[in-house]
Structure 1
Amino acid sequence: MSEKRWVTFDCFGTLVDWRHGIATGIELVAPAKGRQLLDVYNRHEPEVQRDHPGMRYSDVLTEALKRTSAEARLDLVEDDFRVLAAGIPFWPVFPDTREALRDLQASGWNLALLTNCDRVIIGETQRRLQVQFDAIVTAEDSGAYKPARNHFEYFEKSLGVTRDNWVHVAQSYFHDMVPASELNITRVWINRLNEGGDPSIAHAVRPDLSDLAATVDQVHRKFNG
């Protein structure tokens, strides 16, 4: 079994500004509607992922936008629905992301992504992150989308990771904190949106990635001896 210490991350929403990316993409085909329809889209995307666990994320984006458009009665043409998949390589990285990742690497942690996207998209996104990850698990690899447990179980089994050397860091309560809690993985909730939810589900709650290396070290020592 591996004795390496691992920090796993969700990507979109935690490291990359998912909400900005979705809203800006919608704006391109439905001006002045992006922010207005963001929550509508956010409701449809997990439904598509649940209905089609084997669908590539680029197609999830397209289908979720189609459902959003139908609900909002937007007058879009077929090509418009690909706007989110086309734009995702350019979604902005949060300003605190790169420094936090580099600090963790300097502290001796191995980094991995457990992401609800496909291999092509994460490959394109890595150039913006500018940090080398030691492992990546996509929905395409695991065969399902979080909050299903597949990502976590695939990562654990394929790399021989022990849970006493593993901390998971993510923004989404629904997609990440809940399944990580069910699996008893040490976890840090990056509550960027000041969402509701029981903060005791996480071993630490932070508003952003500042001082993340110190937080990860602290929870690892406290909860894993």
Structure 2
Amino acid sequence: MAGSIGSTLMATPRVLAFDVFGTVVDWRSGIARDSSRFLAEISRSDIDSATFADNWRKRYQPAMAEVRDSRRPFVILDVLHREMLEGVLSEYGINPRAIEPDLLVDWTRAWHRLEPWPDAVVGLTRLKMRYPIVTLSNGNIALMLDVARHGGLPWDAILGAEVTRAYKPAAEAYLGTAAILDVSPADLCLVAAHHSDLAAARASGLLTAFVNRPMEYGGAEAPDRDQRQEWEWRADGLTDLADQLGCH
């Protein structure tokens, strides 16, 4: 158990909102697995699929920044994922237009088939006994629904970027979610494995719970480690968080 910070002084959240990619589901293993299959189909098994997954993910924040900074209208994450995939393929000297369109669609939908971390379903189920649990993800609704159905994730509601029309870490992503739930920001707790996400949530007035996922990047250090703070809760998984929040 990682332990909480100053738990006797903290307010109890009314709602728990969860980041999903990396916090609840293991994106890297899933994207590497599916990419290995698709790379073989286009005769490029020489490309390391885990590195391919990392390179795809590296395009995530820059793609959303285009929307956050109003350089393009809002589009859902499925659209951005397809654009990111085509960009990564081009990096490897592969012309996306030379690939069957249906294969590219299925490859993009690898993000819909991600597996939960081993503690996720049990932890969420326990937390749900005491708190409403919702997504606060940059994933669009159809994407989050497929991930939930695939992995048995028991959300009370699927919220996030498509609902607020704002990508994290924009303040509206957090404040808009609180407004939709009819709670004050101080009554909403973001649960996330990413310090940058939690820092933005805290700046918007939310409570914060950090979940340690040391294998999210295959054991490599997280890119946002410099934004680490003393979060209200710090847990080694969702069952640990359930213990700390009294969900037995």
TM-score (normalised: structure 1): 0.83
Counterpart in 1 of 2:207?
186
Greater CA drift, 16-25 or 122-131: 122-131
Counterpart in 2 of 1:214?
243
Structure scoring higher RCO (CA < 8 A, sep ≥ 6) equals 2
Structure 2 gaps, min length 5: 1-11, 40-44, 69-73, 215-220
Greater CA drift, 55-64 or 84-93: 84-93
2:234 to 195, 205, 211: 205
1:49 to 54, 61, 64: 64
TM-score (normalised: structure 2): 0.76
Report if the CA contact (8 A) 2:160-2:177 is conserved.
no
- Calculate the aligned-residue CA RMSD, in Å: 2.4
- Deviations 1:46-69, CA, capped at 9 Å, x for gaps: 211222451121111111111112
Structure 1 gaps, min length 5: 219-225
Report if the CA contact (8 A) 1:188-1:216 is conserved.
no
Deviation at 1:83, TM superposition (A): 3.5
3-state SS in 2 of match to 1:101 = helix
Equivalenced residues, count: 214
Deviation at 1:75, TM superposition (A): 5.0
2-structure distance, mates of 1:58, 1:97: 23
Q: Confirm or deny that 1:118 pairs with 2:133.
A: no
Pairs within 5 Å for 1:1-225 = 5-30=14-39, 31=45, 32-52=47-67, 54-74=74-94, 76=96, 77=99, 79=101, 80-106=103-129, 108-174=130-196, 176-193=197-214, 195=222, 196-216=225-245
Moved over 4 A (4+): none
Question: Percent of aligned pairs with the same residue?
Answer: 22
Which has the larger share of helix? 1
- Deviations 1:106-131, CA, capped at 9 Å, x for gaps: 2x111111111111111222213434
- Deviations 1:17-50, CA, capped at 9 Å, x for gaps: 1112222232222234211223322221221122
